[in-house]
């Protein structure tokens, strides 16, 4: 159940002006601090000490940090070195039970669902303020545990965390039921009620953003929560859990259990007193979660799962922009995005030019210690992911795809991988079908729209797609024909809080973010009253 | 997988004026007393009335044609009045489901259905509603024959409601709006609400055509194509309306109807890799199986409408006569075969004795007999399996020391008729207060105060519906919020307007049918984002 994926993000402020894109060679720091993957010599550089202390390693249950019932702990590792950052309490069934008891009590008896929506929103607003106050500390912890560049954490993800919570704080007092036209003398209304105790299982690729996508709507709607973090990245959630309580969240409303999928995760999914479960992770684990829900109490399930998203470059596209965006769509966050543009379809007329430029861009990518300024790519999250990606790279080579760049580990310690580009990829190759979840771009050639629509849709996944064209008819046609939950046209990874995100087909069930996400945390109750002598119907 | 339940219905026109309640109050006994047998009278040798309808369609409807099952097999569908065979019906299995899915897939992927304008789709559905009205007598007769429900109920309540629902959904077809969305920067953001694709739908036997309408209506309005499996007890009417849909101009392959059994046809639909969505109405146990099959196949989203053990709460300030009548209706309607039946009648201690006396008297007056006879309130249970199950629960009630106020046995000596049965002094831990009986067995429980009854009402794995009877606004408002149930009827019950969402909390299901909420079940949300150059506003 190890949650192994998520949804990437990149706010538009980035694309226009800031850090990530400017990293591309313009920033003088880059050439000083970063090591390019082709630069073999740099492997003995010192690892930068993160400017943060690990303060919280216990489970957060009923407003208190506590050891696990078993007393067991597990190590969370620094992906730059594989060394231990901290020992973290290992939650299991017993701890989940305790967390559910706390959440149940907070929902059934506690003040949370009985507060006014305005009071709930104020707590969420205060929490967003605290996130901003602790921005650098949170970002450092996120980078240390996950391996993502510190600049990405500090400039994009943590600010986005505050933004997402302010978005949901604003929803709290705008959840309206309806009054409904009856066919006769009845007054009909619908109440949109909180579901109750929500179980939430989040992945390691964007630990805090995934926390915000899950907690934000659950809390805005008045639910209480038992949240399980990924075993690779337990630290930042515990810190923000403390901040939530500092902001005035009543005890028991959010409980955070660190631990593993088959134990703590399975206990949440099959718990009889949890009313709802939301999971982000792999499709295979998503199937297990849904089955556990079906075998226990039929709790409602939201799933955000895997993807193999097409990125389609039509012949009339701005090729330089498309190359840059296709690079970003795949390599962002070390390629660890569920919606990564991992099938780059390029029209035959611009294919050779595109491949040449994509290769050059990948070779130019700055790989190194994520705490260094100017670094674009850090290590993969752990050895399991690292090995899996190298296996797929070998597959690509063995199946006859052309290795244009990369293809190996970067340096000699930690889990760094060279930005890798394959061209001449065919649809039936494993690297064109499976979710690799790493810095491996696969470029495929196409001839016409009918063909690329059929090929793009020929996947069990349906999470996202990129479309690059200047032609309005092409854009409109592809936008409707692609069976995916997000279509980015001449852009990619735009993740505003208002934009719903989720999958068609085996990429998941339900939508997160936006107005749609509220449904996941509300029950609809119809109330019908007989009325006498009504003035109108 | 035999779909064994559903959602009852009764249009409000009913409760106000119509035959059901007025007859039951004993005013309309002209016809009733003459032809009808009360459950106490023995008239076993009466002739069974011949339904005024021919069975014209018994084959699977696939890709616009009525066809035999691939295996050539058939199964008998029985008359619940006698247990005799009405007709032999094609028995669909995995191979037939595959063919139906292929037809639906083609109709969706290549059209024309989702490529028609919404207005054109709405007109097909409106024409269909007209045809349902035109054929309402045949449809009602077929429904009554196959299911055992009273012909008057089928004719005056259910079939008109089928037409009403399709007009409701026809009106939605051209009102499915996506949103344009405020962005945080220079982007144009919109959401498209698209059809999901091929919907698998599995419906129960208790309201065959209404459940058909609840499922098919939103799926078609949203532009999906369908493979629908009917219950093996009641396969006949769906074929008939399937034919009417073709007459109304529905393109071939858009609606495919497979009769058959749950463990074969139903399971293959739930686990099919080319079905994009599944909706099921039936028992909670089967719902769990369905969801497991979806999880183990292609993660199709699943809507479930499952079992219930709905409380009907009578407060001390309620109008007792009205509460007795509606509590009776809430339980006994449709032979007690309603998923939202008010099957735990909680009565305040101050009015308990009076209530029990009157509830008993009302049940004793209930008119049981051939559902084709005029004035009949209660026909037979749907089949021998249900009959035996209900009788088992009645024995369980007696053995657990509930007081049998009336009923408790079979009516007559053939078919599946059961006496309207009332238990008082029922305790929460008795099986008859916990399990869904799905038959004409009312359980009356006593309570002392609001806190207590809220707790007891919620102490169940189910959460489908509830009835609340009170004159106090504070009590009504408090109890409406506190009950964990998808529908709360205050001083009424079984109001099933098309616009009112219906569905369960807890193990009574996932999702809502009817109303605006039902559209979500058949739509995918696609976000489309485009950069803006030099926008006039953001």
In tens, the pLDDT along B310-320 reads 999 999 999 99
In the predicted model, is pLDDT for residue B22 greater than 50? no
Q: Residue B481: its chain A contacts at CB < 8 A?
A: 191, 193
Distance CA A336, CA A369 (A): 17
Q: Is A138 exposed, middle or buried (0-12, 13-18, 19+ CB in 10 A)?
A: buried
pLDDT in tens, A30-42: 333 344 444 444 4
Contact B182 A498 (CB under 8 A): yes
SS3 content of chain A, % helix, strand, coil (to 5): 40, 20, 40
A287, A498, A510 member nearest B296 (Cβ): A287
Q: Whats the size of chain B, residue-wise?
A: 538
Tell me the nearest-neighbour CA distance from B481 into chain A, angstroms.
8
Where do the domains of chain B lie, and which CATH numbers do they carry? 60-306 (3.40.605.10), 311-497 (3.40.309.10)
* CA dist B55 → B88, B131, B205, B236 (Å): 10, 18, 17, 8
Where do the domains of chain A lie, and which CATH numbers do they carry? 59-305 (3.40.605.10), 310-499 (3.40.309.10)
What are residue A312's DSSP bridge partners?
A345, A467
Q: Residue B501: its chain A contacts at CB < 8 A?
A: 190, 524, 526
A479, A506, A528 member nearest B500 (Cβ): A528
Contact A515 B179 (CB under 8 A): yes
pLDDT in tens, B111-162: 899 999 999 999 999 999 999 999 999 999 999 999 999 999 999 999 999 9
CB A269 within 8 A of CB A293: yes
Which single residue is written with the structure tokens 């694309």?
A15
The pLDDT assigned to A537 comes to 87
What are residue B304's DSSP bridge partners?
B280, B510
The pLDDT assigned to B2 comes to 34
Six-digit token string for B256: 């495919």
The pLDDT assigned to B111 comes to 87
The pLDDT assigned to A19 comes to 32
Contact A182 B301 (CB under 8 A): no
Nearest residue on chain A to B190, judged by CA atoms?
Answer: A499
Intervals of chain A under pLDDT 50: 1-44
Contact A526 B189 (CB under 8 A): no
Residues contacting residue A294 through CB under 8 Å, at least 6 positions apart: B288, B289, B290, B291, B292, B294, B295
Six-digit token string for B515: 């109303």
How many A/B residue pairs have CB atoms within 8 Å? Answer: 209
CB A147 within 8 A of CB A380: yes
B506, B525, B530 member nearest A490 (Cβ): B530
A191, A286, A287 member nearest B481 (Cβ): A191
The pLDDT assigned to A45 comes to 66
Would you name the residues of B annotated as active-site residues? 305
CB hemisphere CA count around B419 (13 angstroms): 22
Distance CA A347, CA A343 (A): 13
Tell me the nearest-neighbour CA distance from A293 into chain B, angstroms.
8
Contact B506 A275 (CB under 8 A): yes
Contact A186 B495 (CB under 8 A): yes
A501, A524, A530 member nearest B491 (Cβ): A530
Name the average pLDDT for chain A.
92
Q: What is the dihedral of CA B365, B370, B374, B376, to 10 degrees?
A: 20
pLDDT in tens, A208-239: 999 999 999 999 999 999 999 999 999 999 99
The pLDDT assigned to A23 comes to 31
Distance CA A372, CA A29 (A): 9
B7 vs B64, higher pLDDT: B64
**Percent of chain B whose predicted confidence (pLDDT) is above 90:** 90
Tell me the nearest-neighbour CA distance from A186 into chain B, angstroms.
8
What are residue B135's DSSP bridge partners?
none
A125 closest CA partner among A157, A171, A156: A171
Q: Count the neighbouring beta carbons within 10 Å of the beta carbon of residue A424.
A: 16
In the predicted model, is pLDDT for residue B467 greater than 90? yes
Q: Which long-range contacts (CB under 8 A, 24 or more apart) does A385-390 make?
A: A385/A4, A385/A336, A385/A415, A385/A437, A385/A438, A386/A415, A386/A417, A388/A436, A388/A437, A388/A438, A389/A335, A389/A417, A389/A436, A389/A437, A389/A438, A389/A439, A389/A440, A390/A417
CB A312 within 8 A of CB A484: no
Nearest residue on chain B to A197, judged by CA atoms?
Answer: B506
**Percent of chain B whose predicted confidence (pLDDT) is above 70:** 91
CB A201 within 8 A of CB A214: no
In the predicted model, is pLDDT for residue B28 greater than 50? no
CB A419 within 8 A of CB A406: yes
CB hemisphere CA count around A173 (13 angstroms): 13
What are residue B378's DSSP bridge partners?
B368
Q: Residue B490: its chain A contacts at CB < 8 A?
A: 527-530
Q: Residue A300: its chain B contacts at CB < 8 A?
A: 510
From A90, A231, A304, A435, active-site residue: A304
Phi, psi of B302 (to 5 degrees): -125, 130
What is the DSSP code string of A386-435?
Answer: HHHHHHHHHHHHHTT-EEEE--SBSSSSTT-B--EEEES--TTSGGGTS-
Alpha helices for A147-282 (secondary structure H): 150-152, 158-172, 207-220, 235-246, 266-269
pLDDT in tens, B390-399: 999 999 999 9
End-to-end CA distance of chain B: 52
Mean pLDDT of B210-217: 98
Task: Tell which of B110, B111, B184 to mutate to test the A interface (max A CBs under 10 Å).
Answer: B184
Q: Residue A322: its chain B contacts at CB < 8 A?
A: none
B210 closest CA partner among B63, B97, B337: B337
The pLDDT assigned to B41 comes to 44
Distance CA A283, CA A289 (A): 10
B154 closest CA partner among B113, B204, B207: B207
Q: Is B177 exposed, middle or buried (0-12, 13-18, 19+ CB in 10 A)?
A: exposed
Task: Tell which of B472, B526, B532 to mutate to test the A interface (max A CBs under 10 Å).
Answer: B526
Q: Is B117 exposed, middle or buried (0-12, 13-18, 19+ CB in 10 A)?
A: exposed
Nearest residue on chain B to A465, judged by CA atoms?
Answer: B528
Contact B503 A524 (CB under 8 A): yes
Phi, psi of A35 (to 5 degrees): -105, 125
B12, B191, B486 member nearest A525 (Cβ): B486
Model confidence, pTM:
0.90
Task: Tell which of A525, A531, A534, A537 to mutate to test the B interface (max B CBs under 10 Å).
Answer: A525
Mean pLDDT of B330-351: 98
SS3 content of chain B, % helix, strand, coil (to 5): 40, 20, 40
Is A304 tagged catalytic?
yes
Distance CA B45, CA B413 (A): 9
Is residue A181 helix, strand or coil?
Answer: coil
Helix (H) or strand (E) holding B262, with range, is: none
Nearest residue on chain A to B165, judged by CA atoms?
Answer: A183
Per DSSP bridges, beta strands A508-509 and B465-469 are unpaired
The pLDDT assigned to B42 comes to 42
CB hemisphere CA count around A315 (13 angstroms): 9
Nearest residue on chain A to B293, judged by CA atoms?
Answer: A291
pLDDT in tens, B470-486: 999 999 999 999 999 99
In our burial notation (b when 16+ CB lie closer than 10 A, e otherwise), range A156-182 reads bbbbbbbbbbbbbbebbeebeebebeb
Name the average pLDDT for chain B.
92
């Amino acid at each position: 159940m190890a949650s192994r994926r998520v949804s990437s993000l990149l706010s538009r402020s980035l694309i226009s002006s800031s850090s990530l894109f400017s990293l591309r060679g313009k920033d003088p720091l880059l050439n000083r601090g970063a090591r390019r993957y082709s630069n073999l010599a740099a492997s003995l550089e010192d690892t930068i000490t993160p400017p943060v202390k690990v303060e919280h390693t216990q489970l957060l249950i009923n407003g208190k940090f506590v050891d696990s019932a078993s007393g067991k702990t597990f190590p969370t590792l620094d992906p730059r070195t594989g060394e231990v950052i901290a020992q973290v309490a290992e939650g299991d069934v017993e701890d989940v039970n305790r967390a559910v008891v706390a959440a149940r009590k907070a929902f059934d008896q506690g003040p949370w669902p009985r507060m006014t929506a305005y009071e709930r929103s104020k707590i969420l607003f205060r929490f967003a303020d605290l996130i901003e106050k602790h921005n650098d500390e949170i970002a450092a912890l996120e980078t240390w545990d996950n391996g993502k560049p510190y600049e990405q954490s500090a400039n994009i993800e943590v600010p986005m965390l505050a933004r997402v919570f302010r978005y949901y704080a604003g929803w709290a007092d705008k959840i309206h039921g309806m009054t409904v036209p009856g066919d006769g003398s009845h007054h009909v209304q619908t109440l949109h009620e909180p579901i109750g105790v929500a179980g939430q299982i989040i992945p390691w690729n964007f630990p805090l953003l995934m926390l915000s996508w899950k907690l934000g709507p659950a809390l805005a709607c008045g639910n209480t929560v038992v949240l399980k973090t990924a075993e690779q990245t337990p630290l930042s959630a515990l810190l923000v859990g403390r901040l939530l309580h500092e902001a005035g969240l009543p005890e028991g409303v959010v409980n955070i259990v660190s631990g593993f999928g088959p134990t703590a995760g399975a206990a949440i999914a099959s718990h009889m007193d949890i009313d709802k479960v939301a999971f982000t992770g792999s499709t295979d684990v998503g199937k297990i979660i849904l089955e556990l829900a079906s075998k226990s109490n039929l709790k409602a399930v939201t799933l955000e799962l895997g993807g193999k998203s097409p990125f389609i470059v039509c012949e009339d596209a701005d090729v330089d922009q498309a190359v840059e965006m296709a690079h970003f769509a795949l390599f962002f966050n070390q390629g660890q995005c569920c919606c990564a543009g991992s099938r780059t379809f390029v029209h035959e007329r611009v294919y050779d030019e595109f491949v040449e430029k994509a290769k050059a861009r990948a070779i130019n990518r700055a790989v190194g210690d994520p705490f260094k300024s100017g670094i674009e790519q850090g290590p993969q999250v752990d050895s399991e992911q690292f090995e899996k990606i190298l296996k797929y790279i070998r597959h690509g080579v063995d199946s006859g795809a052309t290795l244009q760049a990369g293809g190996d580990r970067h340096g000699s310690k930690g889990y760094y991988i060279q930005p890798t580009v394959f061209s001449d990829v065919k649809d039936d190759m494993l690297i064109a079908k499976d979710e690799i979840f790493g810095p491996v771009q696969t470029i495929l050639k196409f001839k016409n729209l009918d063909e690329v629509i059929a090929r793009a849709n020929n996947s069990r996944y349906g999470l996202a797609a990129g479309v690059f064209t200047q032609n309005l008819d092409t854009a409109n046609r592809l936008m409707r024909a692609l069976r995916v939950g997000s279509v980015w046209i001449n852009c990619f990874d735009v993740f505003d809080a208002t934009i719903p995100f989720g999958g068609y087909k085996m990429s998941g069930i339900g939508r997160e973010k936006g107005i749609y996400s509220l449904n996941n945390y509300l029950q609809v109750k119809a109330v019908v009253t007989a009325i006498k002598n009504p003035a109108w119907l | 997988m035999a779909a064994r339940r559903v959602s009852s219905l009764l249009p409000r026109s009913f409760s106000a004026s119509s035959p059901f309640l007025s007859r039951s109050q004993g005013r309309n006994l002209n016809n009733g007393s003459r032809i009808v047998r009360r459950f106490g009278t023995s008239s076993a040798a009466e002739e069974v009335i011949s339904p005024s309808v021919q069975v014209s369609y018994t084959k699977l409807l696939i890709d616009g044609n009525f066809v035999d099952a691939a295996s050539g097999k058939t199964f008998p569908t029985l008359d619940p009045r006698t247990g005799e065979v009405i007709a032999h019906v094609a028995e669909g299995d995995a191979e037939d489901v595959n063919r139906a899915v292929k037809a639906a897939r083609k109709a969706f992927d290549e059209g024309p259905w989702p490529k028609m304008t919404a207005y054109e789709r709405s007109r097909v559905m409106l024409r269909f509603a007209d045809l349902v009205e035109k054929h309402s007598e045949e449809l009602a007769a077929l429904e009554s024959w196959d299911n055992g429900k009273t012909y008057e109920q089928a004719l005056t309540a259910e079939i008109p409601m089928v037409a009403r629902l399709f007009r409701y959904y026809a009106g939605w077809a051209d009102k499915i709006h996506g949103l344009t969305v405020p962005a945080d920067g220079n982007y144009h953001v919109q959401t498209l609400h698209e059809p999901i694709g091929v919907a698998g739908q599995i419906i129960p036997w208790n309201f065959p055509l209404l459940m058909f309408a609840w499922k098919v209506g939103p799926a078609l309005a949203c532009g999906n194509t369908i493979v629908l499996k009917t219950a093996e007890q009641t396969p006949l009417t769906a074929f008939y309306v399937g034919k009417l849909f073709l007459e109304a101009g529905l393109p071939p392959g858009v609606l495919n109807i497979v009769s058959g059994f749950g463990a074969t046809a139903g399971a293959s639909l739930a686990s099919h890799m080319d079905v994009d969505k599944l909706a099921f109405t039936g028992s909670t146990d089967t719902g769990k199986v369905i969801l497991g099959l979806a999880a183990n196949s292609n993660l199709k989203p699943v809507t479930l409408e499952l079992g219930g053990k709905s409380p009907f709460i009578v407060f001390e300030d309620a109008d007792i006569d009205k509460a007795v009548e509606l509590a009776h209706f809430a339980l006994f309607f449709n032979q007690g075969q309603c998923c939202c039946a008010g099957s735990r009648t909680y009565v305040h201690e101050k009015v308990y004795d009076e209530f029990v006396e009157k509830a008993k008297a009302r049940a004793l007056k209930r008119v049981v007999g051939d559902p084709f006879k005029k004035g009949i309130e209660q026909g037979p249970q749907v089949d021998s399996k249900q009959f035996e199950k209900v009788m088992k629960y009645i024995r369980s009630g007696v053995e657990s020391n509930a007081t049998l106020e009336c009923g408790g046995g079979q009516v007559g000596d053939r078919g599946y008729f059961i006496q309207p049965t009332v238990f008082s002094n029922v305790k929460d831990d008795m099986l008859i207060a916990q399990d869904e009986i799905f038959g004409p067995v009312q359980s009356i429980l006593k309570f002392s105060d609001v806190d207590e009854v809220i707790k007891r009402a919620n102490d169940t794995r189910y959460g489908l519906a509830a009835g609340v009877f009170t004159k106090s606004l504070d009590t009504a408002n408090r109890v409406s919020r506190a009950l964990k149930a998808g529908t709360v009827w205050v001083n009424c019950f079984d109001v099933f307007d098309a616009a009112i969402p219906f569905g369960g909390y807890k193990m009574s299901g996932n999702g809502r049918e009817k109303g605006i909420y039902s559209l979500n079940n058949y739509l995918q949300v696609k976000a489309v984002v485009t950069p803006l150059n030099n926008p006039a506003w953001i």
